[in-house]
A and B are shown apart, each in its own frame.
Chain A
Amino acid sequence: MEVDELREEARRNTRGRFEQWAKNPTCEANILSAVHNVRLDKAASAAGLAPGFGQSPFAIARGNAFEAGLFTADAAALRAALERAGVLPAGSRGLLDLRLRQNGGSRVSGVDAALFETEAWLRAIAADPWQADSIVAAPMVRIPKGVILPEALLIIDAVAVTVSAEGVRLTVGEIKVFPDRGGHTDPGQLASARAQAGVYRHALGLALDHLGLTPRVTAADDGFLVFTWPGSNAPSVRAREDLTYQARRAERGFARLEEVAQSIVRDDDFAADNPTLIARVLAAPTDYKEACLSFCDLAPRCHSRAMAADEPSVLGDDVARILGGMTIARALALMAGVAPADDREADVQRRLTQAR
């Protein structure tokens, strides 16, 4: 029963797991955590570490309120912003709300219903484009491929539907409560929103192909991001975000994750209970990097290990890259003038002494 629940949670959290993996794709512990949906905070607790990452209840409430506000009254606020930004034509109409009830929707009761309704919607707009609603909230699509990541599910925040003589064009949108500060918008937040929209774009393209609806219905290569205007609840839409690269990144990333996972995941993992999987994650080899500090609750453990092993990663990625597998003590000795043992050490010594 517990395994089934885990699987269900894993299916829902595909995007988050994918992004977690992408932050350090060379760490086996991270790969196992992403593949088996073993939360890093739980693993950290099991290792006796205090989890450092989490979400604020205020931020969650604000995000929920913002998203809900966008879709009220026939998505008036979102529609106005999308029309101003040129994502939708003026005078657009129609909202199809596929949000689950637990996420603020009014009709759709569960995952299966959402998948069914999304598929029905795609078939319907292919058959009769001119009746299409212009905004669709939270359609759910399935990434059909995968052994390690079976039936990956993605809920797309919003889709804008435009119809022309060429057919139906679907533009994916990502909604975030981040303040949009023009050119000063946090680059990390912007990048994560674009990456997530790229995953949506990839998944939607797969779904359309799977249903045989292309080219009557196409997923646009661009997307839109919905942020907040600082100091207000008004949406700020960033239109025409080119997602070509991000969608390709998602496609390659899922394939790569699958490939890497197959080499390290054991057959019995999928029947294992959570404590066993946590133990597997904790026992797996790691690859400590600066990026780990931004997402991984196990980073303090890896830092301690790197310190004990005198690894240069404790001084940053730049130092680690130049020193390679060399210890800090050896690098200091080379700086002090000891004779290098080989060409590699001679090169490091030259670089260290030149830069002083």
Chain B
Amino acid sequence: MAGTLEAWRMGRPLPRYDTLHHAIAPADQVLIVAFVRMAGESRPWAIAWGAPGAAPSIASVPDGRVRDDVAGLCAAFAGDLIAHLSAGGPHLDPATTAPDPMALHQVWLPNGQHIAMLHQVGYTYSQTRFGGANRDLLRAFGRIAGWMFRDTSRVGNQHIVDASALLTASYVVPAQRVRTAHLGYVLGWLTTDGDREARLAAAMAAERLTVSPTMDPATEREPLAGLVDRWNDARRADGNPAAAAAQIATVLDGEVRRRWRLAEQAYLVLTADDRPVNEGVTALVTESQREFWYQYLRIEQRHADPDQGPAFIAHPETDFHGSSAASRYLIHEAADEGYIGHLIHHDHALFQEALDDGRAFQAQVLGVDDAGTGRSTAPRWVLRLDPTLPHRLRETTRVAPLGSRGHEAIVLVLNASADDLLVTIEWTARKTKPLLGPLQALPMDHMWLGMTVRFVLADAAALTLRRSRRVWSAAAGPGAWLTHGAPTAPIEITGDDDRVDLVLDDIVQIADGVEV
């Protein structure tokens, strides 16, 4: 809240944190995408896509309700989208080579509602029976859109960028939170020169224009409703609908181009930001590339070449597979746990926030001792903390020294008095390696005596990640009824022809290699 007030006083948005917490790929590795849809429909009516700094490709159809026309529109876009994301592709196989963070290809969208369109595309096309010559391309479009949507729910994902969310995560805007969800509003604050009044006026003017894929009802009432009626009337009467179609295309072009430009502007604002990208983002990118490989590319390769293994199509709602669900849950849990842990070592403001919140502390080293026996080493420190500051320490809490992720210690004893809080910790991870930082000394080195050391609470992301792999072979474990049980009832899916089929769950797809 103090940040919001300070930004108000300064009359402009202020940087949030000292570093950017997201990778910003070079322009030639970025595809900006924006959608427009007819209200009430879930498929696109117009799409704009292209790299920042260049004119976007824009395609639309006269009536967003005509299924075959919309399929053609989607096919025109799908090829470029798949090629763009897969360009970071085949060499990423982590089984043979380490994923290359530099190969990250991103897709930027204006806001979360555009990302939700990806989900609807997944529903519509991942198992479509239509599309004629484009059917396989549309199915591939549905699969990649489904993966893109799913990955956005993984904390720390790096491929799909919600421009609005990234801007508000990177800047404190002196405005109501509801308003800052509007990309144009935030950009009005960020890109307008002048004082607070000038920036606010620009933001409020931009706010009047919708960024969502659904257009302003006023625009749909006039001129679009009449034009679409004219186009349909002409088509039904074997007349010439071209004139109406051209007028519709002009309106849609303006609408979708404006949304695309806003996302491009967000990209340019962030690339022009003076702050460095947090060093911890490299690890997030590596994790994202690994996810991209295992959850998308590898499966696509199997679709193309069944000899490489069984492929399956993820259902847009869930996986209907207990082991897979448990594993994915743990992977998301690990991503969530590890996110701040990757970033906090390289961002003083983030550390300060954790300090205020009791998720970090600084302490003076009063004692250094080795409790190991024989050849084992068990360095122990006695730390003194200011007892008036907030902390969340208890015995067994695991902590990591700031700036040296990987080193880890466990709290053995807490000894509190009115004036002191003495904490005994024992180093448990990388205990024979020097801590990163100015001293470059081993934990058991007595050089640490009297020094003030900063710590953060350690995350259990690595452990959670291991559990995500173990769950697959836990058929005899206590939770097997859940993770290895069969679905209780056949599950149905409605196709885009409104026919209802039983879902071929992933077990069947994988085990029997059923073609879907």
Instruction: Please report A residues at the B interface, Cβ cutoff 8 Å.
Output: 52, 54-59, 61-63, 80, 84, 177, 179, 181-184, 186, 228-234, 236, 290, 293-294, 300, 313-319, 322, 328, 331-332, 335, 351-356
Q: Is B43 an interface residue (CB 8 A)?
A: yes
Bound-state CA distance A290–B179 (Å) is 8
Those of B132-163 within 8 Å (CB) of chain A? 149
List residues of chain A with CB within 8 A of the CB of B497: 232
B356 contacts which of A57, A231, A354 (Cβ < 8 Å)?
Answer: A354
B2 contacts which of A300, A313, A353 (Cβ < 8 Å)?
Answer: A353
Complex contact A315–B176 (CB within 8 A): yes
A and B contact pairs by CB, cutoff 8 A, 12 listed? A56-B214, A58-B64, A62-B65, A84-B492, A232-B496, A234-B494, A290-B178, A315-B4, A317-B177, A318-B1, A352-B5, A356-B2
User: Hey, what's the 0/1 contact readout for B43-60 against A, CB within 8 Å counting as 1?
Assistant: 100000000000000000
A293 contacts which of B2, B119, B179, B228 (Cβ < 8 Å)?
Answer: B179
Known: A181-B119, A232-B496, A290-B176. A56 touches B42 (CB 8 A): no
Question: What 7 pairs across the A-B complex have the smallest Cβ distances?
Answer: A231-B124, A62-B40, A182-B317, A56-B39, A59-B39, A230-B123, A59-B40
Known: A290-B178, A332-B5. A55 touches B217 (CB 8 A): yes
Complex contact B40–A63 (CB within 8 A): yes
Bound-state CA distance A314–B204 (Å) is 13
Those of B414-470 within 8 Å (CB) of chain A? none
Bound-state CA distance A246–B316 (Å) is 29
Complex contact A316–B2 (CB within 8 A): no
- What's the minimum C-beta distance from B236 to chain A, rounded to whole angstroms? 16
Q: How large is the interface on B (under 10, 10 to 19, 20 to 34, 35 or more residues)?
A: 35 or more
Complex contact A179–B42 (CB within 8 A): yes
Known: A181-B123, A293-B179. A58 touches B40 (CB 8 A): yes
Complex contact B119–A184 (CB within 8 A): yes
List residues of chain B with CB within 8 A of the CB of A317: 176-177
Interface of A is mostly: helix
Complex contact B120–A181 (CB within 8 A): yes
Bound-state CA distance A56–B224 (Å) is 10
Bound-state CA distance A61–B40 (Å) is 9
Q: Is B208 an interface residue (CB 8 A)?
A: yes
Q: Is B495 an interface residue (CB 8 A)?
A: yes
Of all chain B residues, the one with the shortest Cβ separation from A354 is B356
- What's the minimum C-beta distance from A150 to chain B, rounded to whole angstroms? 32
B123 contacts which of A183, A231, A331, A353 (Cβ < 8 Å)?
Answer: A231
Known: A62-B39, A181-B123. A232 touches B498 (CB 8 A): yes
Known: A293-B178, A335-B5. A181 touches B221 (CB 8 A): no
A54 contacts which of B3, B218, B225 (Cβ < 8 Å)?
Answer: B218
| Most B Cβ at <10 Å: residue of A54, A56, A319, A331 | A56
Q: Is B369 an interface residue (CB 8 A)?
A: no
B42 contacts which of A61, A84, A231 (Cβ < 8 Å)?
Answer: A231
Known: A58-B41, A318-B177. A231 touches B1 (CB 8 A): no
Complex contact B225–A57 (CB within 8 A): yes
B316 contacts which of A80, A182, A186, A356 (Cβ < 8 Å)?
Answer: A182
- What's the minimum C-beta distance from A47 to chain B, rounded to whole angstroms? 16
Bound-state CA distance A204–B317 (Å) is 33
Of all chain A residues, the one with the shortest Cβ separation from B122 is A230
Q: Is B8 an interface residue (CB 8 A)?
A: yes
Complex contact A177–B2 (CB within 8 A): no
Bound-state CA distance A154–B346 (Å) is 59
List residues of chain A with CB within 8 A of the CB of B224: 58
List residues of chain B with CB within 8 A of the CB of A52: 208
Of all chain B residues, the one with the shortest Cβ separation from A64 is B40
Complex contact B5–A57 (CB within 8 A): no
Bound-state CA distance A300–B179 (Å) is 12
Complex contact A355–B356 (CB within 8 A): yes
Q: Is B375 an interface residue (CB 8 A)?
A: no
Bound-state CA distance A184–B115 (Å) is 11
Of all chain B residues, the one with the shortest Cβ separation from A318 is B1
List residues of chain A with CB within 8 A of the CB of B350: none
Known: A182-B316, A315-B174. A322 touches B1 (CB 8 A): yes
List residues of chain A with CB within 8 A of the CB of B43: 231
Bound-state CA distance A322–B5 (Å) is 12
Complex contact B220–A316 (CB within 8 A): no
Bound-state CA distance A229–B40 (Å) is 12
- What's the minimum C-beta distance from B490 to chain A, rounded to whole angstroms? 10
Bound-state CA distance A62–B225 (Å) is 13
Q: Is B318 an interface residue (CB 8 A)?
A: yes
Of all chain A residues, the one with the shortest Cβ separation from B41 is A62
List residues of chain A with CB within 8 A of the CB of B326: none
User: Hey, what's the 0/1 contact readout for B158-186 against A, CB within 8 Å counting as 1?
Assistant: 00000000000000001111110000000
A319 contacts which of B5, B40, B125 (Cβ < 8 Å)?
Answer: B5
A315 contacts which of B5, B41, B228 (Cβ < 8 Å)?
Answer: B5
Bound-state CA distance A354–B389 (Å) is 11
A229 contacts which of B123, B149, B215, B225 (Cβ < 8 Å)?
Answer: B123
User: Hey, what's the 0/1 contact readout for B16-47 against A, CB within 8 Å counting as 1?
Assistant: 00000000000000000000001111110000
Known: A179-B42, A182-B318. A56 touches B176 (CB 8 A): no
Of all chain A residues, the one with the shortest Cβ separation from B117 is A230
User: Hey, what's the 0/1 contact readout for B181-208 against A, CB within 8 Å counting as 1?
Assistant: 0000000000000000000000010001
Of all chain A residues, the one with the shortest Cβ separation from B9 is A332
Bound-state CA distance A17–B39 (Å) is 23
Q: Is B337 an interface residue (CB 8 A)?
A: no
List residues of chain B with CB within 8 A of the CB of A58: 38-41, 64, 220, 224-225, 228
Q: Is B500 an interface residue (CB 8 A)?
A: yes
Bound-state CA distance A165–B25 (Å) is 67
List residues of chain A with CB within 8 A of the CB of B356: 354-355
Q: Is B245 an interface residue (CB 8 A)?
A: no
- What's the minimum C-beta distance from A317 to chain B, rounded to whole angstroms? 7
Of all chain B residues, the one with the shortest Cβ separation from A228 is B42
List residues of chain B with CB within 8 A of the CB of A186: 116
Given contacts A58-B64, A62-B40, A228-B42, 11 further A-B contacts (CB under 8 A): A62-B39, A177-B40, A184-B149, A229-B123, A314-B175, A315-B5, A315-B175, A317-B176, A318-B177, A328-B5, A351-B1
- What's the minimum C-beta distance from B410 to chain A, rounded to whole angstroms? 30
Of all chain B residues, the one with the shortest Cβ separation from A328 is B8
Complex contact B116–A184 (CB within 8 A): yes
List residues of chain A with CB within 8 A of the CB of B123: 179, 181, 229-231
- What's the minimum C-beta distance from A325 to chain B, rounded to whole angstroms? 16
